[in-house]
Amino acid sequence: MYGSGILKGLGVTLKHFVETYIEDIRYLGKRYTPETLPQRQGPKERGIFTVQYPFEKLPVPENFRYIPFLVYDDETGKERCTSCGICAKVCPPQCIWIVRTKDPKTGRPRPEPAEFYIDASICMSCGYCAEFCPFDAIKMDHDYELSAYHRDELVFDLKKLLKPASYHAQIHPTDWKREEEARAAKAAKKAAARKARKG
């Protein structure tokens, strides 16, 4: 019958429409709560799945990467960065500027940055700086709401970039665990080597 193809197609749209309501019943009125968000975005969901951003936000996975931040230790308040410059060298759009600290007496470089800029309007969030940093000093952030009224506000300096290590631990739990284990293993190795030298 001519037109049967169209009717069959409309059947699919109707099914999609009805399924949305059936899903609503399945959630017993709790469909639009933060707890059901991961489930609502999962492969088992039927019908329409809309998230009412900015009123509800999808949780981002641990690996999610957005503009980098610099890590400082909670206790000492000292940044981990040694201003070795690997991040500035590996950055594809070259948006990292670092000024190395010089010792005022000797004039020799000290392993900490005097100034550190990231131009977030240029940063392409590729994650190379975090990937290749040998000191776990620069990490990718989860905060993706960065809009500003002026371009100058998007040039982040040290003050804006520094975030505590506990924040890093909170957003990257598995990475944090792995890094801590590696650090502990390294420290143990060092201690053992020192002991062996002494004994």
Token representation of residue 170: 């909170």
In angstroms, the CA 131 to CA 125 distance is 12
User: Would you say 17 or 27 has its CB closer to another protein?
Assistant: 17
By CB under 8 A, what part of segment 41-60 binds another protein?
41-44, 48-49, 60
x-or-dash pattern for another protein, window 10-39, by CB under 8 A? -xxx--x-----------------------
Q: List the one residue from 32, 37, 127, 146 that touches another protein (CB under 8 A).
A: 127
Chain centroid offset of residue 100 CA: 26
Q: Using CB under 8 A, which of 97, 110, 112, 163 touches another protein?
A: 97
Q: Does 144 bind another protein (CB under 8 A)?
A: no
Binding to another protein by residue 173, rule CB under 8 A? no
Q: Sort strands 109-119 and 66-72 into parallel, antiparallel or unpaired.
A: unpaired
91: amino acid identity, one letter: C
Q: Give the nearer residue to another protein in terms of CB position, either 63 or 170.
A: 63
Which listed residue (37, 90, 146, 162) binds another protein by CB under 8 A? Answer: 90
Q: What's the token pair of residue 3?
A: 């037109």
- Give 38's contacts (C-beta < 8 A, 6+ positions apart): 59
The answer to whether 94 contacts another protein (rule: CB under 8 A) is yes
Which of 178, 128, 141, 118 lies closest to 63, judged by CA?
Answer: 141
